[in-house]
Amino acid sequence: MSIEQLAETAVAMVAPGKGIIAIDESSGTIAKRFAGVGIENTEENRRAYRELLLTTPGLNEYISGAILFDETIRQKTKDGVPFARYMSDNGMISGINVDKGTHALAGFPGEVVTEGLDGLRARLEEYYKLGARFAKWRAVINIGEDIPSGTCIEANAHALARYAALCQEQGLVPMVEPEVLMDGNHDIDTCFEVSEVTLRALFDALYNHNVALEGTILKASMVLPGKDSDDTASIEDVAESTLICLKSAVPAILPGIVFLSGGQSDEDATAHLDAMNRMGPNPWPLSFSYGRAMQQAALKLWSQDLVGNYDAAQATVYERAKANGLAALGQWTRG
């Protein structure tokens, strides 16, 4: 796989006015989401729910691709079409979540490191055959008293770089995700500092591991005050802090940056993205790779009546995709 082909995929992922829908919740996370709305966590319910999302009419107008989970990339629509094929037939790129989740970082209470490097080369080879063209790995950085430690940031950056190099070797675009969590009562300046040092460590590690940035996408968290903080940052404050942080730490050669929603409300996630694009031009396309901020309205509707609300649930997915697609251009209007 040439760098040119990887770069082509990366550029298509952040095509103007398009972004990614993240539907790669692990079995544990989807169990929590389903439990929240009273849906039984069976394989068929997970399949049917992911089918609802992916077959939303008109989704490809605003969605360039989707991140799937291991189980999902092996599943089919009710008509027997593998999801990955359904997506490529409809002009959307399949991505796959390839990490094995976070585990306590030994010796560093309260901190985690993402595992999943063992056997990754063979798994990537299989995912490519199943149709995946990009792969996501999520590292998690917690903010708290005396954390994150330098060791935690380095360990996660190193794992991200090793996974990214393996992805490129196997023909998949790495979507590197160092998520700085919103949990806590820290202010926006603390989030800025932690995000900046994390991104600098990540791009150092990618450089040291010969990862071609032209064929890499960054999935970033926004610079926000903690969920339990009294800090009342405005939409513009968040947009401005996030942009300054990214500009100081992310090389301009990167084809694009997509954001996670991380527990923000649907509207805030859209408003922040829109504000950042209105403040442009920026060095890279800025778009979205939202999970919750794309799905939560649909899940609620679908859960009330697995059949009757199907069209209404898909309509909310389309609305969220459209709003975020417009925000990726800085053209969204509230309401």
Among the listed ranges 126-134, 190-198, 284-292, 298-306, the one in contact with ligand 13P (CB under 6 A) is 284-292
Of the candidates 175, 85, 86, which has an alpha carbon nearest to the alpha carbon of residue 139?
A: 175
**Options 292, 309, 325, 329; binder of ligand 13P; rule CB under 6 A:** 292
261 binds ligand 13P (CB under 6 A): yes
DSSP code per residue over 28-63: HHHHHHHHHTT----HHHHHHHHHHHHT-TTGGGTE
Residue that the structure tokens 């985690």 belong to: 112
**Options 163, 290, 302, 332; binder of ligand 13P; rule CB under 6 A:** 290
275 binds ligand 13P (CB under 6 A): no
Could you tell me the smallest distance in angstroms from the CB atom of residue 4 to ligand 13P?
27
User: Rounded to whole angstroms, how far apart are CA atoms 235 and 6?
Assistant: 34
The size of the interface with ligand 13P (CB under 6 A), counted in residues, is 11
Alpha helices (runs of H) in 209-291, residue ranges in sequence order: 235-249, 266-278
Question: How many CB atoms neighbour CB 48 within 10 A?
Answer: 18
- State yes or no: is 267 an active-site residue: no
Binders of ligand 13P in range 176-205 (CB under 6 A): 177
272 binds ligand 13P (CB under 6 A): no
95 binds ligand 13P (CB under 6 A): no
Tokens of 233: 């940052």
User: Rounded to whole angstroms, how far apart are CA atoms 207 and 32?
Assistant: 37
34 binds ligand 13P (CB under 6 A): no
138 binds ligand 13P (CB under 6 A): yes
Strand boundaries in the chain, DSSP class E: 19-22, 63-68, 93-97, 102-104, 112-114, 132-141, 173-180, 217-220, 257-259, 286-290
- State yes or no: is 18 an active-site residue: no
Q: Which residue's CB atom is positioned nearest to ligand 13P?
A: 291
158 binds ligand 13P (CB under 6 A): no
Q: Which residues are catalytic?
A: 177, 219
**Residues making contact with ligand 13P (CB under 6 A):** 22, 24, 138, 177, 260-262, 290-293
